[in-house]
Amino acid sequence: MLGKLRFVFEACEDGKLRGYGGEAFHGLFFELFTPIDGEFFGALHSARRKPFSIYFDGTPEMENGWMRVKKGERFSFVLSVYNNGLLKKVIEGVEVIPHEELKLGGIHVRLEGVFPDGAFQKPVVLFRGRLKKEVEFRFLSPTTFRKGKKHVVFPEPVFVFHSLLSQWDAFPLRKRDVKVEDVLEEILVKRHAIRTELVEFSRYRVVGFVGRVVYGFPDVERDVLKWLNALSRFAVYAGVGYKTTMGLGRVEVR
């Protein structure tokens, strides 16, 4: 099952959050839910790969890699989940988590509520619709890829689709019987309009790209093209690249 949950907060004081606030919300999420099932959420926190992404929903007021928040301001983070077990645990936990006297990255906040962000979907929805030879990705939060000890700050198709394929294979929503990886290097960047942004984390800084990129798929068999389209739609839930569980790599696809 695919599902998104919107956490709506009200700031009780002026303050600022590192980056797009994703690191702070990541920490608060585990602080709220781990007491409900320590074994489950402890294992999730320790896992190298996690079946969710996080993003700030809106256009943050940024200053030198920090997001400013004003007293009385309402703002939202979205938790995007693509695993039945996790989605069930979070929905159950929402009923009992505290709402008052919370700290989000050092800022006192009140949790106004947690609401479904659109309808929950079965994975089959990713395989429906017209098959496209070109797809437009809109990278709404800074995106980057780790290559060894370095970061790649360009939307290389092989990195984008390898990121999506790796998350799919780690948490398969449907059995994959097509070798999509064989054609990733043939995907082209047809057009792009991107810029870089700095994101502050507690222990380091990251530079990522934001903007629009149009990818062109090669001439391939229909089954392969269907999977490339499905992976593109999956990006809306999984995000792309590095630190998607802390607010990076948010994507819209057209």
Spatial separation of the C-alpha atoms in residues 72 and 62, rounded to whole Å:
18
Q: Domain-by-domain residue ranges, the chain?
A: 3-116, 126-253
Q: 127-174: per-residue pLDDT in tens? A: 999 999 999 999 999 999 999 888 999 999 999 999 999 999 999 999
Give me the residue label for tokens 């703002």. Answer: 75
Confirm whether 3-116 and 126-253 share one CATH topology.
yes
Spatial separation of the C-alpha atoms in residues 43 and 33, rounded to whole Å:
12
Spatial separation of the C-alpha atoms in residues 142 and 151, rounded to whole Å:
12
Q: 62-79: per-residue pLDDT in tens? A: 888 789 999 999 999 999
CB 102 within 8 A of CB 28: yes
Question: Looking at the domain 126-253, which fold is it?
Answer: Alpha-Beta Plaits (3.30.70)
pLDDT in the model for residue 64? 81
Beta-carbon neighbour count of residue 137 at 10 Å?
23
Spatial separation of the C-alpha atoms in residues 221 and 133, rounded to whole Å:
12
pLDDT in the model for residue 130? 94
**What pLDDT band is residue 59 in, cutting at 50, 70 and 90?**
confident
The CATH class, in words, for 3-116 is alpha beta
pLDDT in the model for residue 222? 97
CB 23 within 8 A of CB 84: no
